[in-house]
Amino acid sequence: MAPYESDDSTGAAQADDELRAELRTERRRKAARYVVPVAVVGVAAATIGLVPALADSGDPDLPKITAQELINKIAKSDVQQLSGTVKISTDLGLPDLGGLESSLLSGATQGSGDGSSADPTSKLTELASGTHTLRVAADGPEKQKVSVLESGAEYSLIHNGTDVWGYDSKSNEVYHSTAADSGKAEQHETPATPKDFADEVLKSVDDTTSVTVDGTAQVAGRDAYRLVIKPKQSGTTVGAISIAVDAKTGTPLKFTLTPSSGGAAVVDAGYTQVSFAKPAASTFDFTPPKGAKVTEGDKAGKDSKTDGWDKGGKASETPGHGTAKDLDKSGFDVLGKGWNSIAVLETGSKGGLPTGSASGGGDLSGFLGSLGDPVSGKFGKGTVFSTRLINALITDNGKVYVGAVDKAALLKAANAG
């Protein structure tokens, strides 16, 4: 494995060896950084979930630290209690479809329920575009709360013991399910912080990646180190990932992903205020309001893992939300290495784009086709859909190639296959 870059010149070789060993033990998944469900342009944003971030407000003077030491600090962080306000901005460069893109994103993750507006599997995908403000709280593995603040309304997802509640104040609808055997699985921080996402990125770091410490920052009034992760490979759409790590607790406070094409960040999310004190117990209490429509997710035949948490409060990994290794089990193959990894799905459906109606009328295949670029090669014909981060090729023979790679890489993979 090639050496990692470090901000220390003394003892660099030893630090590199230790860093590689640390990453090997942490990494259980080797495939693509980002994998998306088929049929919807830009649905990869759903994998972002609830990753918080914030603009810097200063450069504090902190003790020098190496990349290895900072990664170790993140790995050893065991914050169980926190509360705060989060701002997340997502710019995948999706076309302006007058709100239709949001409904498509929601439909891509819609479960088998009755379409309740409080169902978290569809509601939280609205974070895939635009700027949103969230309130988050956590008290151990069995109590978490995320509230998405909207204009004159609020959506809350609450996990308390064995109960998982989703409440949409705008429609006055409630979604209820259970997290079976709560507390028996490994402990897990709230899925509304950047730690989970940062952990996944760090697990995937290998010899195709440069990892450095690039100074300090202040996030939500707290001193932090800045860890920068950059691909060494060409052909990827990922330019750099910056993670601001709390100097005291080792908790990631900020996550910013910029594309190789330049411009604004694809994801810029973070805390505007954060406290590591124990939240009030009442924070996680919930009783359906009078007159609210309540949908029981378990009775609708939905696996509780699709509701946001599985055992012990661990964030669930539904298809399209996990790593490529998980998706391999559901029929995905992974081509390439590191940041140039491409997930390949055999849909079994010939003819390319899905058919049907778009937004209640018109041909869906024609509508989706108008958003992509027609291509051809040894694989036959197909359509490439592009965002600033994720690109996907849907071929007429029923294959889908998707990854954080450019169009040329997708065509090369399809021609080789």
Residues 38/409, Cβ–Cβ less than 8 Å: no
Residues 316/307, Cβ–Cβ less than 8 Å: yes
* Amino acid of residue 261: S
Residues 34/390, Cβ–Cβ less than 8 Å: yes
- Report the pLDDT value the prediction gives residue 20, as an integer from 0 to 100: 52
Taking alpha carbons only, the member of 77, 36, 57 closest to residue 202 is 77
Can you tell me whether residue 186 is helix, strand or coil?
A: coil
Taking alpha carbons only, the member of 146, 247, 142, 255 closest to residue 195 is 255
Burial 268-302 (b: 16+ CB within 10 A, else e): bbbbbebebeebeeebbebeeeeeeeebebeeeeb
The residue with tokens 């169902």 is 119
Provide the sign of the torsion angle of the four alpha carbons 234, 237, 239, 243, taken in this order: negative
* Amino acid of residue 57: S
Q: Which of 99-103, 104-108, 253-257, 323-327 has the lowest mean pLDDT?
A: 323-327
Hey, how many other C-beta atoms are within 10 angstroms of the C-beta on 350? 9
Report pTM.
0.72
pLDDT confidence tier of residue 38, bands split at 50, 70 and 90: very low
Tokens of 176: 């209820």
Which is more confident, 171 or 15?
171
pLDDT confidence tier of residue 355, bands split at 50, 70 and 90: low
92-137 per-position pLDDT tens digit:
887 654 444 444 444 444 444 457 888 887 777 777 788 999 999 9
- Report the pLDDT value the prediction gives residue 2, as an integer from 0 to 100: 35
